[in-house]
């Protein structure tokens, strides 16, 4: 499974890079940024469910769906799903990724489970943070493996990347840095985010922040 996951990462990163560089100027225009900083606690989010189309070179190749729910103990559950057909450099790959992440009010990961279906092969992961470690069990058709990652600071799930600036403050010029655990690469990696603009578009009503996110 590891080569397939790595190929998925490389193809998706390449597709996103081309899509962003080729389409940004075509669809988005600058707007006057609001004077106040937009910031929400998780319990205050005005929208807790999002459907997103994945577009590459003007064609829709899949979708992503995320839903945030409050739990009775004060934690939050993020359910996410993505499905896409990627045709790139003569290679065709089909993906369906599902995950359930339990996080605290600060979006720090507490436990998770994820199912990846890639071209007929299945990969299941489950993990939990305990005593300064993130303990992960990885299961596929060939074997069951366990990994322990030493974690000193908060680690977020990748499903929380788009929520992070919303909870810390949306304002043009702000920058953030934090760590995530990626079930696709099975690594803890650093994320860098910069809020670089406030824009409008015919693709949506109103205005929106433009955020550049770097992961690996």
Per residue in 184-206, pLDDT (tens digit) is 899 999 999 999 999 999 878 89
Reduced 3-state DSSP string for 66-129 = EEEEECCCCCEEEEEEEEEEEEECCEEEEEEEEEEEEECCCCCEEEEEEEEEECCEEEEEEEEE
Give the pLDDT confidence of 58-96 residue by residue, as tens digits. 788 999 999 999 999 999 999 999 999 988 788 888 999
Question: What is the number of H-type helices and E-type strands within the chain?
Answer: 2, 13
The pTM of the full predicted model, rounded to 2 decimals, is 0.84
């Amino acid at each position: 499974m590891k080569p397939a996951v790595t190929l998925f990462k490389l193809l998706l990163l390449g597709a996103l890079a081309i899509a962003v560089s080729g389409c940004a100027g075509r669809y988005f225009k600058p707007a006057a940024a609001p004077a106040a900083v937009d910031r929400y606690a998780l319990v205050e989010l005005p929208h807790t469910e999002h459907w997103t189309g994945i577009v590459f070179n003007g064609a829709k190749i899949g979708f992503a769906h995320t839903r945030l729910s409050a739990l009775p103990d004060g934690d939050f559950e993020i359910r996410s799903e993505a499905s896409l057909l990627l045709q790139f450099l003569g290679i065709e790959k089909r993906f369906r990724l599902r995950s359930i992440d339990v996080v605290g009010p600060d979006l720090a990961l507490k436990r998770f489970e994820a199912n990846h279906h890639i071209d007929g092969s299945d990969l299941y992961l489950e993990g939990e943070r305990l005593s300064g470690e993130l303990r992960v069990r990885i299961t596929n058709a060939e074997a069951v493996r366990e990994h322990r990652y030493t974690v000193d600071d908060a680690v977020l799930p990748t499903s929380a990347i788009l929520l992070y600036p919303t909870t810390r403050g949306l304002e043009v010029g702000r920058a953030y840095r934090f760590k995530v655990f990626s079930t696709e690469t099975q690594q803890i990696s650093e994320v860098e985010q910069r809020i670089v603009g406030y824009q409008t578009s015919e693709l949506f009503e109103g205005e929106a922040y433009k955020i550049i996110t770097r992961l690996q």
